[in-house]
Structure 1
Amino acid sequence: MKIKRQLRIFLLLVVLIPLVAFATIPINRRLAAQGVSFEKLICISLLVASVIELACIMFTIHISSTISKSITFLQRSTKRIADGELARPLERRKSHRGENEITDLIVNLDKMRLTLLENDERRKRFIMGMSHDLRTPVAVIKGYLEAIDDGVVSGEKEISKSVNIILNKTRQLEAMLNSLINFVKLETTEQKNNLHLQPLLPIVQEFAESSINTGKIFNRNVQAEISLSPDTKVMLNRELVLRALDNLYSNAQRYTKDKGVITIKAEETETEAKISVEDSGIGINDKDIQFIFDIFYRASNSRTEPGHGIGLSVVKNIMDSHGWKIDVKSQVGVGSNFTITIPKRDLKA
């Protein structure tokens, strides 16, 4: 039984005591008129009051016991989470009679447990990915420096060639660290919360024009289909939104072959606006779809391509900071489609 319901019954019983006392007054008068002694009247009143008071005491004990057991149950569950036991689901009360507002918190606690478990897995993947990606250029730099120091690499041309390789790997390492720093900044600064009401059309047009020009340079056929009202305004951070869109285009270009098609679409309805970047590239395996927004994750069919696995993580982070949604549909050998959905509550005309 819910604690609120138990308290209502308890309060009802408490209120009944004076009501019963008042109700017995005319009864006592009638009994007195019939010649019933005063002592018997007192006994009857005390008996009625005692029965109600006993019921109140029993309810008080029951409520106290229910709350105590529920708090103990809740304390045991929270201790498991505090101790880091995230893999095992929290206990649930099997009997409906033992459920109340306190034990209902277990449902929310279990959701929190799953979130913590997911974050812990992401952190582990983050560390493993970072270690793997940083280890490669460091190992190359170390190898060439040791070769030069040991005299394995000798001669001016060989040393110059080795130094150039070391410089390239150093630049690669620097680019990776800068990408990582920018990602962390996006997580920790207030920049993502700096949203202003701005027209959506000029931002999408700027992105589309830039993508078309870039596509010409890299031999990609970039098309734009924009159907947005110039009066539509959205709460957004212009810099971050452009960064997210640029990351989506860079991703599409990287995995689309020469003369491949990349289509940028923007449209709106009465309930939402959608911006999509579609390519005719290599596509994404079904098993990789759920992980592609995790930092440092590289899809199995894209590991031969250059990249650090940070771009899509940044996109997802920016979408989350705006309260927008991003979906991906993909088919291996056909291409991928990333769609950003801006809900109606964010649209103002």
Structure 2
Amino acid sequence: MKPLFKEEKTAKSRGKFWKIFLLSFLLLIFISEAVLALLLRYLENAAIAEDVLTVPLYIMPFVALLFTVGLLHLAKARQQKVQIIIDSMNKVAGGDYSVRIYEKAKTREFEIMFSNFNKMVEELSSVKTLREDFIREFSHEFKTPLSSVHGFAEILAEGGLSEEDRKKFIKIIVDETDRLRKLADNTLILSKLENQQLAGDTEIIKLDGQLNESIIMLAPEWEKKSLTLSSDLQPLTVRGNRPLLMQVWVNLISNAIKFTPEGGEITVGLKVRGGRAEVTVTDNGAGIPESELAHIFDKFYRAAGAEKAEGNGLGLAICKRILDLHGGEISVKSVLGEGSTFSVMLDIVE
């Protein structure tokens, strides 16, 4: 990759240096003599005028020389600092995100520039790491169902299967393609949400009504597992994007259904806590190991024991991003063997 900035050739730089030096030196002598001439007009005593004139004629060239050298030294030091920034930026442009500027800055402006440069490279390095992790994790999640589809399609193509086996393999292919579809859909949803800074079109929402709606929508799933799903919902209103918040409740309740054993219990609650609306979804499933709670909202992360369950590890990441856009919070408490409680906090609108 070509550098963003071209460095000046050494010989050319030296030529410019001496030109500036001589011009500055001559200019300072000229200015000093002009100032002396003006002073002489206002000096009435000839003896004093002669003394004033004689001494500076000898010392002023040296003063001018020292002043010029000092200015050029400062200019050169400044140019070196700028060159450090240019060299560092060229390295970053070439893909090296380990670059940091540790040069001691003698001025406030360079101190700020060096500090901001280091922060920028830190952010770029983090983005690069996240991108690489995302590609690796997405590739892994995509490859698994694709391998299943390919394998069972080959078996079907060979023929010689019983009708029962043929139907079983076709069902596996349908399930795996559906899993791929959901993975693609959720990845696109999360990507879109991560590029949003606002929740979009918002309105006043009766939160108790929306939670009831999501419970009814998922009734076939929890009834199929003979689960007991109860709710205790205080009438509260919030402002939000209706489809996005609905997706949060559907994701949380679906997760509870997924990880609660047959005949288990799920409770959905809504109350005021600390001046905000708190939604809780509690199950008596297997629970989540304490060591994994910190990663539960990461993209593609699946807790131990969740590998066999349907999903792609994006549901909770989507919930968190939606709530971030609403100025809300989401947290989880869990005890192994006893179950989990997911808690969502949102601002109340009167």
TM-score by shorter chain over 0.5 = yes
2:102 corresponds to: 92
Partner Cα distance (1:72, 1:175) in 2: 53
Q: Distance in 1 between matches of 2:95 and 2:271?
A: 45
Match of 1:41 among 39, 47, 52: 52
CA contact 2:207–2:235 (8 Å) conserved in 1: no
The code of the aligned residue for 2:95 comes to G
8 Å CA contact 1:203–1:242 kept in 2: the answer is no
Distance 1:78 1:166 in 2: 55
- Aligned residue among 112, 120, 130 for 1:122: 130
- TM-score (norm. length: structure 2): 0.69
Q: Is the 8 A contact 1:141 1:166 kept in 2?
A: no
- Provide the C-alpha distance between the structure 2 equivalents of 1:165 and 1:90, rounded to a whole number of angstroms: 56
- Tell me what 1:72 maps to: 83
Correspondence 1:183-262 to 2 at 5 A: 183-188=187-192, 193=198, 195-200=200-205, 202-211=206-215, 214=218, 217=223, 218=225, 219-226=227-234, 228=236, 230=237, 233-234=238-239, 236-257=240-261, 258-262=263-267
1:34–1:144 distance in 2 versus 1, CA, 3 Å: closer
Instruction: Find the partner of 1:181 among 182, 185, 191.
Output: 185
The structure 1 residue matched to 2:94, chosen from 80, 83, 100, is 83
- Deviation for aligned residue 1:83: 2.9
Structure 1 stretch displaced more, 52-61 or 67-76: 52-61
Q: Which runs of 5+ in 2 are unaligned?
A: 1-30
Secondary structure in 1 matching 2:234: strand
The answer as to whether partners of 2:264 and 2:284 remain within 8 angstroms in 1 is no
Q: 1:148 to 1:211 in 2, by over 3 A?
A: closer
How far does residue 184 in structure 1 lie from its aligned partner after superposition?
1.3
Q: What is the distance in 1 between the residues matched to 2:59 and 2:75?
A: 24
Displacement, 1:188?
3.7
Give the equivalent residue in structure 2 for 1:7.
none
Give the 3 Å change call, closer, same or farther, for CA 108–237 of structure 1 in structure 2: farther
Check the 8 A contact 2:256/2:266 in 1, yes or no: no
Q: Give the RMSD, CA atoms, in angstroms.
A: 4.1
The partner residue of 1:312 within 283, 300, 316 is 316
When residues 148 and 273 of structure 1 are mapped into structure 2, their CA distance, relative to the original with a 3 A threshold, is closer
* Structure-2 residue corresponding to 1:8: none
Q: Quick one: distance in 2 between partners of 1:269 and 1:81?
A: 47
The answer to whether the 8 A contact 1:253-1:262 is kept is no
Q: Indicate the residue corresponding to 1:10 in structure 2.
A: none
Q: Would the alpha carbon gap of residues 295 and 266 (structure 1) be closer, same or farther in structure 2, given more than 3 Å must change?
A: same
Q: Which of residues 111, 120, 132 is equivalent to 2:140?
A: 132
Q: Is the 8 A contact 1:225 1:265 kept in 2?
A: yes
Measured after TM superposition, the shift of residue 238 of structure 1 is: 1.4
Instruction: Say if 1:339 and 1:122 are closer, same or farther in 2 by CA, change over 3 A.
Output: farther
In the superposition, relative to structure 1, how do residues 186 and 128 fare at CA in structure 2: closer, same or farther (>3 Å)?
A: closer
Moved over 6 A (4+): 44-56, 189-192
Q: Partner amino acid for 2:79?
A: S
CA distance in 1, matches of 2:144, 2:69: 71
What amino acid is the match of 1:141?
V
User: Unpaired segments of 5 or more residues in structure 1?
Assistant: 1-16
Task: Quote the Cα distance in structure 2 between the aligned partners of 1:322 and 1:149.
Answer: 50
Give the superposition deviation at 1:75.
2.8
How many residues of Structure 1 are paired with residues of Structure 2 in the alignment? Answer: 312
Q: Deviation digits for residues 308-327 of structure 1, max 9, x if unmatched?
A: 21211222332344454433
288, 296, 303: which one aligns with 1:299: 303
* Alpha carbons of structure 1 residues 84 and 50: separation in structure 2 relative to 1, 3 Å: same
Letter of the 2:108 counterpart: N
Q: State whether residues 225 and 264 of structure 1, in contact with CA within 8 Å, keep that contact through their aligned partners in structure 2.
A: yes
Question: Quick check: 1:252–1:278 contact (8 Å CA) kept in 2?
Answer: yes
1:170 aligns with 2:174: yes
